Amino acid sequence: MKKILFAILSLSLVSCAVEGLESTLDDNSNNTNNTNNPNNTATFTDAIPLNTGNYWTYDVVGLANTRDSLYIFGDEIVGASTYKKFKNRNNIATGFYCTSLNNNNVRKSAGKLLLTGNLSVLQGITLPAGLDFSLTDFIIFKENATNGEILSEKTGTFQQTISNFPVTIEYRLRSIGGESFTSFTSPNNDVYPNVKSTKIAVNLKITTTQTIAGFPITVNILPQQDVVVSTQYLSKNIGVVYTKTNTNFSLNAAIAAQIGLPVTTTQVQEEFLDTYNVN
Protein backbone atom coordinates (compact mmCIF):
# COMPACT_ATOMS: atom_id res chain seq x y z
CA MET A 1 0.00 0.00 0.00
CA LYS A 2 2.87 2.35 0.82
CA LYS A 3 4.41 1.62 -2.60
CA ILE A 4 1.30 2.40 -4.59
CA LEU A 5 0.51 5.61 -2.72
CA PHE A 6 4.01 6.98 -3.06
CA ALA A 7 4.15 5.92 -6.72
CA ILE A 8 0.90 7.64 -7.62
CA LEU A 9 1.40 10.75 -5.54
CA SER A 10 4.95 11.57 -6.69
CA LEU A 11 4.28 12.63 -10.29
CA SER A 12 6.10 15.92 -9.76
CA LEU A 13 8.81 14.66 -7.45
CA VAL A 14 11.14 12.62 -9.68
CA SER A 15 14.70 12.86 -8.45
CA CYS A 16 17.43 12.58 -11.08
CA ALA A 17 20.52 14.57 -12.06
CA VAL A 18 20.80 16.38 -15.36
CA GLU A 19 24.38 16.68 -16.58
CA GLY A 20 26.28 17.42 -19.74
CA LEU A 21 23.81 19.47 -21.75
CA GLU A 22 23.51 22.35 -19.27
CA SER A 23 27.17 23.39 -19.51
CA THR A 24 27.07 23.33 -23.31
CA LEU A 25 23.82 25.25 -23.45
CA ASP A 26 25.01 27.81 -20.89
CA ASP A 27 28.17 28.47 -22.91
CA ASN A 28 26.30 28.89 -26.20
CA SER A 29 23.07 30.52 -25.08
CA ASN A 30 22.49 34.24 -25.59
CA ASN A 31 18.82 34.20 -24.59
CA THR A 32 17.71 34.93 -28.13
CA ASN A 33 14.11 35.58 -28.99
CA ASN A 34 13.61 35.79 -32.74
CA THR A 35 10.15 37.27 -33.21
CA ASN A 36 10.72 37.94 -36.93
CA ASN A 37 10.94 34.28 -37.90
CA PRO A 38 8.52 33.54 -40.78
CA ASN A 39 7.27 30.48 -38.87
CA ASN A 40 5.89 32.75 -36.16
CA THR A 41 2.30 33.92 -36.38
CA ALA A 42 0.20 36.40 -34.50
CA THR A 43 -1.37 33.70 -32.35
CA PHE A 44 -0.42 33.24 -28.71
CA THR A 45 0.46 29.60 -29.36
CA ASP A 46 3.91 30.97 -30.24
CA ALA A 47 4.37 31.04 -26.48
CA ILE A 48 6.24 27.80 -27.23
CA PRO A 49 7.97 28.32 -30.58
CA LEU A 50 7.94 24.89 -32.20
CA ASN A 51 11.14 24.87 -34.26
CA THR A 52 13.72 22.09 -34.29
CA GLY A 53 16.77 23.01 -32.25
CA ASN A 54 15.01 25.30 -29.81
CA TYR A 55 16.00 24.66 -26.21
CA TRP A 56 15.36 25.85 -22.68
CA THR A 57 17.14 25.25 -19.35
CA TYR A 58 15.50 25.53 -15.94
CA ASP A 59 16.60 25.83 -12.33
CA VAL A 60 14.45 23.44 -10.29
CA VAL A 61 13.80 24.30 -6.65
CA GLY A 62 12.11 21.78 -4.36
CA LEU A 63 13.16 18.85 -2.19
CA ALA A 64 16.44 18.99 -4.14
CA ASN A 65 17.79 21.89 -6.20
CA THR A 66 18.74 20.73 -9.70
CA ARG A 67 18.79 21.83 -13.34
CA ASP A 68 16.69 20.61 -16.25
CA SER A 69 16.98 20.99 -19.99
CA LEU A 70 14.38 20.61 -22.71
CA TYR A 71 14.90 20.76 -26.45
CA ILE A 72 13.02 20.10 -29.68
CA PHE A 73 14.59 17.07 -31.31
CA GLY A 74 12.77 17.12 -34.66
CA ASP A 75 9.57 16.10 -36.41
CA GLU A 76 7.42 13.12 -35.48
CA ILE A 77 4.52 11.90 -37.63
CA VAL A 78 1.64 10.34 -35.72
CA GLY A 79 -1.32 9.32 -37.84
CA ALA A 80 -2.06 12.13 -40.25
CA SER A 81 -0.42 14.87 -38.14
CA THR A 82 3.14 16.13 -37.81
CA TYR A 83 4.38 17.02 -34.33
CA LYS A 84 7.57 18.30 -32.75
CA LYS A 85 9.36 15.78 -30.53
CA PHE A 86 10.52 17.12 -27.15
CA LYS A 87 13.41 15.52 -25.28
CA ASN A 88 15.54 15.96 -22.17
CA ARG A 89 19.24 15.28 -22.31
CA ASN A 90 19.71 11.56 -21.55
CA ASN A 91 15.93 11.31 -21.05
CA ILE A 92 16.14 12.49 -17.45
CA ALA A 93 14.64 15.49 -15.68
CA THR A 94 13.55 16.59 -12.23
CA GLY A 95 10.89 19.21 -12.84
CA PHE A 96 7.26 18.39 -13.54
CA TYR A 97 7.15 20.44 -16.77
CA CYS A 98 10.33 19.07 -18.38
CA THR A 99 9.47 15.54 -17.29
CA SER A 100 5.96 15.81 -18.73
CA LEU A 101 7.16 16.86 -22.20
CA ASN A 102 10.06 14.40 -22.39
CA ASN A 103 9.64 12.00 -25.36
CA ASN A 104 6.22 13.46 -26.11
CA ASN A 105 4.95 15.24 -29.22
CA VAL A 106 3.40 18.70 -29.49
CA ARG A 107 1.70 20.50 -32.35
CA LYS A 108 -0.30 23.70 -32.66
CA SER A 109 -3.76 23.92 -34.17
CA ALA A 110 -6.45 26.62 -34.09
CA GLY A 111 -4.91 28.54 -31.20
CA LYS A 112 -4.17 25.44 -29.14
CA LEU A 113 -1.11 23.37 -28.25
CA LEU A 114 -1.89 19.64 -28.50
CA LEU A 115 0.15 16.91 -26.82
CA THR A 116 0.31 13.30 -27.98
CA GLY A 117 2.28 10.83 -25.90
CA ASN A 118 2.26 8.90 -22.67
CA LEU A 119 2.50 10.62 -19.31
CA SER A 120 2.41 7.26 -17.55
CA VAL A 121 5.99 6.57 -18.66
CA LEU A 122 7.63 9.30 -16.61
CA GLN A 123 11.32 8.85 -15.90
CA GLY A 124 11.99 7.17 -12.57
CA ILE A 125 8.36 6.50 -11.63
CA THR A 126 6.70 3.10 -11.38
CA LEU A 127 2.98 3.65 -11.80
CA PRO A 128 0.42 0.93 -11.10
CA ALA A 129 -0.91 -0.97 -14.09
CA GLY A 130 -4.22 0.56 -15.08
CA LEU A 131 -3.33 4.21 -14.53
CA ASP A 132 -3.51 5.15 -18.21
CA PHE A 133 -2.10 8.58 -19.08
CA SER A 134 -1.62 7.85 -22.79
CA LEU A 135 -2.92 10.90 -24.62
CA THR A 136 -3.85 11.92 -28.15
CA ASP A 137 -4.09 15.64 -28.93
CA PHE A 138 -4.58 16.50 -25.26
CA ILE A 139 -4.90 20.30 -25.06
CA ILE A 140 -2.14 21.68 -22.83
CA PHE A 141 -2.67 25.33 -23.81
CA LYS A 142 -5.44 27.40 -25.40
CA GLU A 143 -4.76 31.01 -26.25
CA ASN A 144 -8.27 32.35 -25.59
CA ALA A 145 -9.18 30.05 -22.70
CA THR A 146 -11.04 31.61 -19.80
CA ASN A 147 -9.72 31.22 -16.27
CA GLY A 148 -10.89 27.85 -14.95
CA GLU A 149 -12.04 26.49 -18.34
CA ILE A 150 -11.52 22.72 -18.72
CA LEU A 151 -9.46 22.24 -21.89
CA SER A 152 -9.05 18.44 -21.93
CA GLU A 153 -9.55 15.59 -19.51
CA LYS A 154 -9.07 11.86 -19.20
CA THR A 155 -10.67 9.65 -16.55
CA GLY A 156 -10.50 6.02 -15.56
CA THR A 157 -11.15 3.45 -12.83
CA PHE A 158 -9.38 0.19 -12.10
CA GLN A 159 -8.94 -2.36 -9.31
CA GLN A 160 -5.87 -3.97 -7.77
CA THR A 161 -5.09 -6.12 -4.75
CA ILE A 162 -2.12 -4.83 -2.82
CA SER A 163 -0.97 -6.27 0.49
CA ASN A 164 -4.32 -8.08 0.80
CA PHE A 165 -6.20 -4.81 0.28
CA PRO A 166 -8.70 -4.86 -2.62
CA VAL A 167 -8.11 -1.33 -3.88
CA THR A 168 -10.18 0.72 -6.32
CA ILE A 169 -8.46 3.72 -7.89
CA GLU A 170 -10.37 6.45 -9.69
CA TYR A 171 -8.31 9.05 -11.54
CA ARG A 172 -8.92 12.19 -13.53
CA LEU A 173 -6.27 14.07 -15.50
CA ARG A 174 -7.28 17.49 -16.79
CA SER A 175 -5.85 20.67 -18.26
CA ILE A 176 -7.33 24.01 -17.19
CA GLY A 177 -7.16 27.53 -18.60
CA GLY A 178 -5.48 30.14 -16.40
CA GLU A 179 -4.90 33.85 -16.04
CA SER A 180 -3.51 36.42 -18.50
CA PHE A 181 -0.84 38.99 -17.63
CA THR A 182 0.36 41.97 -19.64
CA SER A 183 3.53 41.73 -17.56
CA PHE A 184 4.45 38.87 -15.25
CA THR A 185 7.13 38.87 -12.55
CA SER A 186 8.24 35.40 -11.48
CA PRO A 187 9.21 34.76 -7.84
CA ASN A 188 12.89 35.20 -8.73
CA ASN A 189 12.06 38.73 -9.99
CA ASP A 190 12.49 38.02 -13.71
CA VAL A 191 9.94 40.03 -15.71
CA TYR A 192 8.24 38.70 -18.86
CA PRO A 193 5.69 40.33 -21.18
CA ASN A 194 2.46 38.86 -22.54
CA VAL A 195 2.09 35.85 -20.24
CA LYS A 196 -0.77 33.38 -19.90
CA SER A 197 -0.96 30.50 -17.44
CA THR A 198 -2.32 27.00 -17.85
CA LYS A 199 -2.74 24.16 -15.35
CA ILE A 200 -2.37 20.38 -15.29
CA ALA A 201 -4.20 18.64 -12.43
CA VAL A 202 -4.28 15.02 -11.28
CA ASN A 203 -7.29 14.04 -9.17
CA LEU A 204 -7.38 10.71 -7.32
CA LYS A 205 -9.74 8.70 -5.17
CA ILE A 206 -8.61 5.44 -3.56
CA THR A 207 -10.99 3.14 -1.72
CA THR A 208 -10.99 -0.36 -0.29
CA THR A 209 -13.78 -2.70 0.78
CA GLN A 210 -13.88 -4.30 4.22
CA THR A 211 -16.42 -6.77 5.58
CA ILE A 212 -17.89 -5.73 8.92
CA ALA A 213 -20.54 -7.89 10.61
CA GLY A 214 -21.02 -9.67 7.32
CA PHE A 215 -21.65 -6.52 5.33
CA PRO A 216 -19.23 -5.01 2.75
CA ILE A 217 -18.22 -1.49 3.73
CA THR A 218 -16.39 0.92 1.41
CA VAL A 219 -13.58 2.75 3.18
CA ASN A 220 -11.88 5.81 1.72
CA ILE A 221 -8.10 5.51 1.79
CA LEU A 222 -7.67 8.71 -0.18
CA PRO A 223 -10.86 10.81 -0.42
CA GLN A 224 -11.30 12.36 -3.87
CA GLN A 225 -8.95 15.32 -4.22
CA ASP A 226 -6.47 17.04 -6.52
CA VAL A 227 -3.16 15.55 -5.46
CA VAL A 228 -1.03 17.33 -8.06
CA VAL A 229 -1.68 20.78 -9.51
CA SER A 230 1.01 22.21 -11.78
CA THR A 231 0.72 25.75 -13.17
CA GLN A 232 2.85 26.77 -16.15
CA TYR A 233 3.34 30.42 -17.14
CA LEU A 234 3.97 30.91 -20.87
CA SER A 235 5.43 34.07 -22.39
CA LYS A 236 4.75 34.64 -26.07
CA ASN A 237 7.68 33.75 -28.35
CA ILE A 238 9.75 32.49 -25.40
CA GLY A 239 8.07 29.44 -23.88
CA VAL A 240 7.35 28.35 -20.35
CA VAL A 241 9.14 30.81 -18.08
CA TYR A 242 7.98 29.55 -14.69
CA THR A 243 6.22 26.49 -13.30
CA LYS A 244 4.87 25.90 -9.80
CA THR A 245 3.74 22.39 -8.86
CA ASN A 246 1.88 21.66 -5.63
CA THR A 247 1.55 18.09 -4.36
CA ASN A 248 -0.99 17.79 -1.55
CA PHE A 249 -2.93 14.87 -0.16
CA SER A 250 -4.76 13.86 3.00
CA LEU A 251 -5.24 10.18 3.85
CA ASN A 252 -7.74 8.42 6.04
CA ALA A 253 -6.05 8.73 9.46
CA ALA A 254 -6.77 5.12 10.52
CA ILE A 255 -5.46 3.67 7.24
CA ALA A 256 -2.44 5.97 7.28
CA ALA A 257 -1.50 4.70 10.73
CA GLN A 258 -1.73 1.08 9.53
CA ILE A 259 0.55 1.60 6.54
CA GLY A 260 2.95 4.07 8.16
CA LEU A 261 2.22 7.14 6.05
CA PRO A 262 1.63 10.71 7.21
CA VAL A 263 -2.00 11.78 7.30
CA THR A 264 -1.24 14.86 5.22
CA THR A 265 1.61 15.78 2.87
CA THR A 266 2.35 19.12 1.22
CA GLN A 267 5.26 19.68 -1.16
CA VAL A 268 6.06 22.51 -3.57
CA GLN A 269 8.36 22.48 -6.60
CA GLU A 270 9.30 25.48 -8.76
CA GLU A 271 10.98 25.64 -12.17
CA PHE A 272 12.60 28.92 -13.23
CA LEU A 273 13.67 29.59 -16.81
CA ASP A 274 17.40 30.21 -16.95
CA THR A 275 18.72 30.14 -20.54
CA TYR A 276 16.95 29.58 -23.83
CA ASN A 277 17.41 29.78 -27.57
CA VAL A 278 14.36 29.98 -29.85
CA ASN A 279 14.03 30.55 -33.58
For the stretch 132-179, pLDDT in tens is 788 999 999 999 999 999 999 999 998 877 666 778 889 999 999 999
pLDDT (0 to 100) of residue 164: 67
Let me know: does 210 contact 186? Beta carbons within 8 Å.
no
Residue 71: which residues within 8 A CB-CB, separation 6 or more?
A: 21, 53, 54, 55, 56, 86, 87, 88, 89
pLDDT digits (tens, 9 = 90+) for 13-26: 333 333 443 444 44
User: Distance (Å, rounded) from C-alpha 69 to C-alpha 93?
Assistant: 7
> Can you tell me the distance from the alpha carbon of 50 to that of 108, in angstroms, rounded to the nearest whole number?
8
**The predicted structure's pLDDT at residue 219:** 83
| Domain extent for 182 | 2-278
8-state DSSP, 30: -
Distances (CA, A) of 268 to 41, 231, 248: 35, 11, 9
User: 78-86: long-range contacts (C-beta < 8 A, 24 or more apart)?
Assistant: 78/105, 78/116, 81/107, 81/116, 81/137, 82/107, 83/107, 83/116, 84/50, 84/51, 84/52
Q: Of residues 47 and 107, which shows the higher confidence score?
A: 107
Distance (Å, whole) CA 113 – CA 115: 7
Q: How many domains does the chain have?
A: 1
Who has greater pLDDT, 2 or 163? 163
